[in-house]
Amino acid sequence: MLNYTIRRLFFVLFVVWGVSVATFFLSQVVPGDPALVALGDKATDEMIANFRVKNGLDKPVVAQYFSYVGRLLQGDLGTSLRTGRPIIDDLRDFFPGTLELSITALLIAALIGIPAGILAALNQNRPPDFIIRFLALIGGATPIYWLAILLLEFLHNKLRILPGPGRLDAYLIAPTRVTGFVGIDALLARDWQVFGDSLAHLILPAFVLGAFSSALLARMTRASMLETLSQDFIRTARSKGVSQSQVVIKHALRNAFLPVLTVLGGVLGGLLSGAVLTETIFSWPGVGRYTTDAAISLDFPAVMGVTLLAGMAYSIINLVTDLLYALFDPRITYA
């Protein structure tokens, strides 16, 4: 497994290199002048020329790329044209928010989708199965932005049950940053008011983000469970008098979980790199919202940095998912 992991890590580096090539050369063909973006419309020709020389924009494209790769190897993603800060610092500030939101959304999706898929499989072609399949179809077809606006209007503006956008109420002060997760930092600071408020603010965006994924997990779990429940070893277990709960959990679910695990890995990777709409609507200070602001302002270095982070995160999640296969199926070996 160690040799396999090392080989896959080299593959991750190859993916990151490919992403760097694609994003860099795409940034060269997109209309827009980084110098004008950074300096503003009132910049003089002399200011623009000095900016180009300072940032190496006066060099050929290939030379610019090799200079960019050299900085990447030193851990330098460049400087944001919009914020004026190192991009690595911006990502350090915004990525914990996206990670917190994505993990919570994944937990919600798993807690809803997997039990629903099991229940549908155990009641194939009966009312529970029809209801779950219908809800999964609705959940998968519902646009995220529509669901987000609907829940904000109903649960926040009308009923005042849940708080609105943001990670905290405006009158609260965020705890001292330790992990970047507001809830965990509040626990470390023993600030129970901030802790409760951060959890309340997390409910709506996490549910919206996890709704589509729960529908996907429900359908995948149902299909995989149906296939497993029809196998001979399940009939053998039942003929030996094994209880229904043991048949479902110990025998069927464990053998049916590999396709579900694959979907879980893909869902988490997608959540980390695709929470743009949710973070924008809920004013959530995460990478998705940071990317949107960077794209609007033609902040090419920031967009490239986020793309590299997303490619690396997706590759690592796929690697971890592959390694977890062996925990659920001992027959799987890595050479």
DSSP class per residue in 53-113: HHTTTTS-HHHHHHHHHHHHHTT---B-TTT-SBHHHHHHHHHHHHHHHHHHHHHHHHHHH
Mean pLDDT on 255-271: 86
The residues that bridge with 79 in the sheet, in sequence order, are 86
Task: Please state the φ and ψ torsions of residue 113, each to the nearest 5 degrees.
Answer: -70, -45
Q: pLDDT-derived band of residue 274, with 50, 70 and 90 as boundaries? A: low
Q: Name the pLDDT band for 234 (thresholds 50, 70, 90).
A: confident
216, burial (CB in 10 Å: exposed 0-12, middle 13-18, buried 19+)? buried
Which tens digit of pLDDT belongs to each residue from 163-195? 988 888 888 888 888 888 888 999 999 999 999
Report the percentage of the chain scoring pLDDT > 70.
Answer: 96
Tokens read off for 303 = 């967009």
Q: How far apart are CA 213 and CA 247, in angstroms?
A: 26
pLDDT of 83 over the 90 cut: no
pLDDT digits (tens, 9 = 90+) for 120-171: 999 988 999 999 999 999 988 888 889 999 999 999 889 888 898 888 888 8
84 falls in which pLDDT band (50, 70, 90)? Answer: confident
Which segments within 160-270 are labelled E, that is strand?
A: none
pLDDT at 39 > cutoff 80: no
pLDDT-derived band at 27, boundaries 50, 70, 90? confident
Average pLDDT for 101-123: 93
- Which has the minimum average pLDDT: 51-65, 144-158, 294-308? 51-65
Distance CA 91, CA 305 (A): 8
pLDDT digit string, tens, across residues 280-296: 889 888 888 888 888 88
Average pLDDT, the chain: 86
Distance separating alpha carbons of residues 164 and 218, to the nearest angstrom: 29
- Would you say residue 279 has pLDDT above 80? yes
> Domains of the chain: which residue ranges?
2-73, 87-328
CATH code linked to domain 87-328: 1.10.3720.10
Of 1-10, 77-86, 170-179, the least confident:
1-10
More confident of the two residues 225 and 325? 225
Question: Tokens 């949710």 map to which residue?
Answer: 278
Model pLDDT, residue 334: 67
- pLDDT score, position 203: 92
Whether the predicted pLDDT of 77 surpasses 90: no
